[in-house]
Amino acid sequence: MSEKKQSLAYIIGASSVGTLIEWYDFYIFGSLATVIATKFFPPDNPTAAFLSTLATFAAGFVVRPFGALFFGRLGDLIGRKYTFMVTLILMGGATFLIGCIPSYETIGFMAPILVLLLRFLQGLALGGEYGGAATYVAEHSPAEKRGFWTSWIQTTATIGLFVSLLVIMVTRNTLGTEAFNDWGWRVPFWVSLVMVGVSFIIRRNMHESPLFAKAKAEGKTSANPLKESFGNKYNFKFVLLALFGATMGQGVVWYTGQFYALSFLQKICNVEDNQVNVIIALGLLLGTPFFVIFASLSDKIGRKGIMLAGMLLAIICYRPIFEKIYQTTNLKNKQEIVANTKVDVKRELAPKSEVDSLITTTTTKEYTDGTKYKEVKKVTILADASKEAPKPDVKKVVTINNSDRNTLVLMVFVLLLFVTMAYGPIAAFLVEMFPTRIRYSSMSLPYHIGNGVFGGLMPAIATYLATRAKDMNDAAEKAGEAIVNTQPYLEGLWYPIILAGVSFVIGLLYIKEDKNAND
Amino acid sequence: MNAIKRILGIVWIGIGLYAGYYLFINQALPMWGKGGTDLVPAIIYTFILAPIIAGGMSILGYYALSGEYDEK
């Protein structure tokens, strides 16, 4: 391999590792949302705590565009390299500190406040990281292979999610579920400090982007990149096109195929947590090479067609795929072995009470295909009957068989193919849309609004839509009326379908591809 | 094709304004009233999502309508 190619491989590797670590840092929070909910938010309402955590997760996403503005401006003024060194340190520090915060039981409301603050810092850091890394790599790459080289940056988000799931699985299996839920969940956050340290040392030796260095030497950098990007009509209309014609659709496809698939399996299908992590991890492992494949293909046949094809396939296939996922785990489709059904009822004093009772009913069922079901229902009976008893706490866990697991892995893999089509070429696409002098600012903002705002809110909005549909059905049943929605669990998919549909039409009609326009 | 792009500008403006209205009036306002954990999505819908969709799509639609995206 020639010296120049070795240098390019080192540059790609160094940039990608740092970005991967930042994605890992960001995603361990989301991957542990269920556990974190019980630690940092008032524990008496798990649903509220869960939604609050999702909102915190969303807050981390919503802040990303602000990070894009702040660090994008910095990157266009002083350079790409130093800016994404700062983002790396900021992300690593915030992540490590999240792992150190005492629980709500120990420090009260300071706990969720500190979590929120550090989550904001994570969002700011990520907002600055991706645009810098993608711009940095693209500005080193030969034009005819820009898709291929930037695709390695595109793999980092999914690999970061995969690594986060892997670290969580290894930690949970090593410590045991109880210890993990107690304190072991902090370990994945602490691990980040080591990873960030290694990446910092690698990045410290990198040179500035040659295109930026050249622009700076020739006095062609922008004095006010934000004003030039967003205050100038010519550039701003491309920022809008990049957002509504590309990143909005790509963002919802990305989050539906990965994070919503994860929460759908956990919260709607009730599949056991470890199994869900394995299913998602296997799907990601199989699908990740396609980021590089589709991005390389985009170097030959164009970026727009592949991105839009990914969105269109997602629009058409989402409902059938998630229906398949739901029915694969639906116990109504399985044959129960009635003789093996066990019901265990335990009555004891309710926690922190000397008069109230807690009745715990544990039901276990087995099915002919090897599926197992466990339901733990906790009902509090108050000694004072005039007071309103808390809602029963019901936890359902379905342990699926290997055949069903393989079916679910295949479904997740197909979802990920849509992701790789929409996301693989987009770094090169965004870089090529804007000139060097305002590139970091101009591409970062639509990317992080599309992914951070539209995509990041996807799990929360979709969960809300599905819950609302179920509540409407329950209300109709109580009133003796026909149910409104026969598939309430699929209602959440309307959000990504509509947004990807709008992006598809705008992208198809308005985006004109010219790979060399801004070289 | 340029004519289609311009005409669709009205559609984008309409979608943007309707989505902004729906998010704020139908979704965010009831959440403001409820308070508690509903305040978080209320804030996000009111100050982030609704303005981006309503403002961004409307400006995109206006640019489309005025021929800024026409092929020369």
Tell me the sheet residues that pair with A182. none
Distance (Å, rounded) from C-alpha A200 to C-alpha A212?
21
Instruction: State the average pLDDT over residues A134-154.
Output: 88
More confident residue, A69 or A212: A69
**CATH: 1.20.1250.20, 1.10.490.10, 1.20.1260.10, 1.10.1130.10. Which one for A3-332+402-510?**
1.20.1250.20
Q: Do B1 and A509 touch (CB under 8 A)?
A: yes
Contacts of A125 (CB under 8 A, 6+ apart): A22, A67, A87, A88, A90, A91, A94
Q: State how far the Cα of A71 lies from the Cα of A77, in Å rounded to an integer.
A: 10
**3-state SS assignment for residue A499:** helix
Quick one: pLDDT at residue A517?
Answer: 59
Answer whether A103's CB lies under 8 Å from A111's CB: yes
**A331 to each of A150, A271, A489, how far by Cα in Å?**
44, 11, 15
* Three-state secondary structure call for residue A515: coil
Q: Both tokens of residue A311? A: 């969105």
Residue A52 pLDDT exceeds 70: no
How many CA atoms lie within 13 Å of A7's alpha carbon, on the beta-carbon side? Answer: 12
Interface probe for A, chosen from B58, B63, B71 (most Cβ of A below 10 Å), is B63
> Quick one: average pLDDT of A336-344?
94
Q: How confident is the model at residue A57 (pLDDT cuts 50, 70, 90)?
A: low
Interface of chain B toward chain A, CB-CB under 8 angstroms: 1, 4-5, 8, 12, 15, 36-37, 40-41, 44, 48-49, 52, 56-57, 59-60, 63-64, 68-69, 71
Determine the straight-line distance between the first and last CA of chain A, rounded to whole angstroms.
26
State the pLDDT at residue A187: 94
A42, closest residue in chain B (CA to CA)? B37
| Strands ordered across the beta sheet of A342-349 | A342-349, A357-366, A372-381, A393-399
Q: Could you say which of A56, A241, A512 has the minimum Cβ distance to residue B71?
A: A512
Residue B28 has pLDDT above 50, yes or no: yes
pTM (2 d.p.): 0.87
Interchain proximity B15–A502, CB inside 8 Å: yes
Torsion of CA A216, A221, A223, A225, to 10 degrees: -130
Q: Which two tokens stand for residue A466?
A: 């599905």
CA of B29 vs chain A CAs: smallest distance (Å) = 16
CB-based contacts of A218: which residues, under 8 Å, 6+ apart? none
Place of tokens 């694969």: A328
Residue A236: which of B54, B3, B62 has the closest Cα?
B62
Cα–Cα distance list, A291 to A143, A147, A405, A423 (Å): 18, 10, 24, 7
DSSP designation for A390: P
CA distance B19 to B39: 20
Residues of A216-249 as b/e, b for ≥16 C-beta within 10 angstroms?
A: beeeebbeebbebbbeeeebbbbbbbbbbbbbbb
Quote the pLDDT of residue B41.
77
- The reply to whether residue A243 touches residue B49, judged by beta carbons under 8 angstroms, is no
- Nearest one of A317, A254, A249, A243 to A291, comparing CA atoms: A254
B23 to chain A: nearest residue by CA? A461
A433 sits in which H/E element: helix A426-433
Task: Choose the weakest-confidence range: A344-353, A419-428, A500-509.
Answer: A344-353
Nearest CA to A163 out of A191, A125, A133, A127 is that of: A191
Residue A201 has pLDDT above 90, yes or no: no
Cα–Cα distance, A11 to A133 (Å, whole number): 10
A52 close to B (CB below 8 A): yes
B63 with A464: Cβ contact below 8 A: no
Q: Residue A337 pLDDT > 70, yes or no? A: yes
pLDDT at residue A442, rounded to an integer = 86
Query: A51 touching B, CB under 8 A?
Result: yes
**Would you say the C-alpha torsion A136, A139, A145, A147 has a positive or negative sign?**
positive
Which residue, A186, A46, A69, A12, is CA-closest to A447? A69
Q: Mean per-residue pLDDT for A7-11?
A: 81
Residue type at position A115:
V
Distance from the Cα of residue A333 to its chain's centroid = 31
Three-class SS state of A250: helix
Chain A CA closest to residue B36: A48
Over residues A422-445, the pLDDT tens digits come to: 999 999 999 999 888 888 888 888
CA-CA distance, A210 to A300, in Å (whole number)? 25
Q: Please give the Cα distance from A509 to B69 (Å, whole number).
A: 10
CB-count exposure of residue A48 (10 Å: 0-12, 13-18, 19+): middle
What DSSP letter does each residue of A8-43 carry, written as one string?
A: HHHHHHHHHHHHHHHHHHHHHHHHTHHHHHHHHS-T
What are the C-alpha distances in Å from A61 to residues A29, A257, B40? 12, 17, 13
A109 touches chain B (CB under 8 A): no
Q: Hey, what are B43's tokens?
A: 């804030």
> Hey, how many other C-beta atoms are within 10 angstroms of the C-beta on B65?
18
**Strand, coil or helix: A360:** strand
Question: Higher model confidence: residue B43 or residue A341?
Answer: A341
Instruction: Look at the block and give the residue holding tokens 């893999």.
Output: A413
Q: Does A242 touch chain B (CB under 8 A)?
A: no
The DSSP symbol for A48 reads H
Domain boundaries, chain A: 3-332+402-510, 338-399
Q: Provide the pLDDT for residue A204.
A: 79
Distance CA A255, CA A262 (A): 10
- What rounded mean pLDDT belongs to chain B? 88
pLDDT of residue A265: 94
pLDDT in tens, B4-15: 999 999 999 999
Contacts with A44 from chain B: Cβ below 8 Å: none
Task: Give how far B5 is from chain A: nearest CA, Å.
Answer: 7
User: How many H helices and E strands in chain B?
Assistant: 5, 0
Runs of H (alpha helix) within A205-247: 210-217, 225-230, 233-242
